Structure 1
């Protein structure tokens, strides 16, 4: 066997492995179309926000009173608002705010809620104390809690993310705590305890990996909820600054002219609905694919 054939064999195996992964990925998308559709729409919205300056937009904050309340046309695709700002540009740039808030809240609340849920579920003496605090926070609707927190701070994207994250942490912590309570009674966990394994090793080796599936699904729903709450906060004037182009701000500014210029609210509402629908479809698809009981019926 020559040296050339020896080097070609690993390369051929790598190519075959890559083709096999691609085939499995395509088969997965065919079996779970919700993941494909929801993920595709979400990626499209993310690309719109990232490449907003390259999509025929202008300065979304530029005011032109002489061009106010124009209807959609070839020059102004989505029309203009009462200050003459281009609604198309504001809607496209508004995708950045909504997606940033949604993804940030989902990541931060998942990390903090996961930590609290793991501690409350596995350390028995802390369960009662932590869960009573969580129950108290969950007794307040998330939107009201976010409004109360925003009332204590000035309007900014960072403060909106923090306020919504605090409101969403209890939901994550309660979910993780329930998963941990069921896992710690499993035979493999009891065997690890009997063998003298320390608590950190048991949590990171046996408990934490089994929380990733429900956490992934929950994170998608939190992302969708965070985008809706951000739009509500901006709509009532308690969210991001009015000058910042966000879908909630655009709808808030157009509500006074809803009957005569409905396009001011229509276009940001459509984009928000499509984005939330995409995230929910992705979450439903992940739930179906990660739940072994549902996977057997598919």
Structure 2
């Protein structure tokens, strides 16, 4: 028998209806879309904003009140920061502000390119190594051999075999970063291939490439995306080190590493020669790391926040 709780209903004698219990849980308003994601993850928003500003600086460097970064002006050499030269001039009279603005292009290009190439190559190697058992021992021994060499030394050795250019720097750093990405992907795949849904797909006769594409690959994207941000930050630091020691981009191409290398002999008396490119490099690496930390917190279900 169904009993109505409305006031107009007539209840049988002796029947008491319990009052409706109040809601104990406050309804959660789920914010969707990009702005909702950024509001729920302020670390990603802060780091992404800084990184976006730096990318815009690199793109629009020619119109940001800059001059030719390679133009020599001996009469203006070693001038401190002023309203005519915001970051001062170097030993050859070149405008440091213009060189720093154009140098953002090199660092961001190297960082993003290395992150993309190393992530794609490491993903392919890690998927094959983690799911194909007979290829695991062969591939991982090669990766272990590359990982036994410090990345900066491996990059220096590779650059010694080629001439200095941005493309060669990207390839050298990419080769040094691939083993770390492949190791991460392999570890994730090793845990995923033991899951019941993978066993079910194998029992149904699904081919190995289809299992990797449908069941393994989607579950590796979250940790891979976080790792890509750290690879990007590491690549920018390695590029600055290579340029600083003269093994990276040629001196004709302004980069933050080159600018610091040219000013290191005079930094005690003219600290602005090193301070400004070092500050921009530090801020860029910090922004990338903030994005990586925020993505790790957002994509990890154990640390996810329902705000």
Same fold (TM over 0.5): yes
Do 2:126 and 2:186's aligned partners in 1 also have CA atoms closer than 8 Å?
A: yes
Q: Which residue of 1 aligns with 2:43?
A: 34
Q: Which residue of 1 aligns with 2:276?
A: 267
User: Using the alignment, how far apart are the partners of 2:149 and 2:236 within structure 1?
Assistant: 19
Q: Which residue of 1 aligns with 2:120?
A: 111
Match of 1:248 among 217, 242, 257: 257
User: Using the alignment, how far apart are the partners of 1:167 and 1:86 within structure 2?
Assistant: 34
What are the Cα deviations for residues 185-227 of structure 1, in whole angstroms up to 9, with x where unaligned?
0011110000000011001011011111001000000000000
User: Using the alignment, how far apart are the partners of 1:170 and 1:182 within structure 2?
Assistant: 19
User: Using the alignment, how far apart are the partners of 2:34 and 2:59 within structure 1?
Assistant: 26
Q: How many residues align?
A: 279
User: Using the alignment, how far apart are the partners of 1:42 and 1:232 within structure 2?
Assistant: 21
Give the structure with the higher percent helix: 1
Q: CA deviation at 1:31?
A: 2.2
| Structure 2 residue ranges without an equivalent (≥5) | 1-28
In the alignment, structure 1 residue 217 sits paired with structure 2 residue 226: yes
Q: CA deviation at 1:29?
A: 1.9
Pick the structure with greater CA Rg: 2
User: Using the alignment, how far apart are the partners of 1:30 and 1:119 within structure 2?
Assistant: 37
| Structure 1 residue ranges without an equivalent (≥5) | 1-19
What are the Cα deviations for residues 94-145 of structure 1, in whole angstroms up to 9, with x where unaligned?
0000000000000000000100000000100010111111111111110110
Q: Which residue of 1 aligns with 2:297?
A: 288
Q: Which residue of 1 aligns with 2:26?
A: none
Q: Which residue of 1 aligns with 2:53?
A: 44
User: Using the alignment, how far apart are the partners of 1:198 and 1:69 within structure 2?
Assistant: 67
Q: Which residue of 2 aligns with 1:203?
A: 212
Do 2:31 and 2:37's aligned partners in 1 also have CA atoms closer than 8 Å?
A: no
What are the Cα deviations for residues 159-192 of structure 1, in whole angstroms up to 9, with x where unaligned?
0000000000000000000010000000111100
User: Using the alignment, how far apart are the partners of 1:150 and 1:72 within structure 2?
Assistant: 35
Q: Which residue of 1 aligns with 2:136?
A: 127
SS at match of 1:201: helix
Q: CA deviation at 1:296?
A: 5.0
Pairwise CA RMSD: 1.4
Aligned runs of 1:56-75 on 2, under 5 Å?
56-75=65-84
Match of 2:238 among 229, 248, 252: 229
Q: Give me the TM-score of the superposition, normalised by structure 1.
A: 0.91
Q: 1:21 to 1:49 in 2, by over 3 A?
A: farther
Q: CA deviation at 1:22?
A: 7.9
Q: 1:64 to 1:22 in 2, by over 3 A?
A: farther
Q: CA deviation at 1:37?
A: 0.3
What are the Cα deviations for residues 233-263 of structure 1, in whole angstroms up to 9, with x where unaligned?
0000000001110000000000010111110
Match of 2:108 among 99, 106, 112: 99
In the alignment, structure 1 residue 166 sits paired with structure 2 residue 182: no
What are the Cα deviations for residues 35-59 of structure 1, in whole angstroms up to 9, with x where unaligned?
0000000000000000001100000
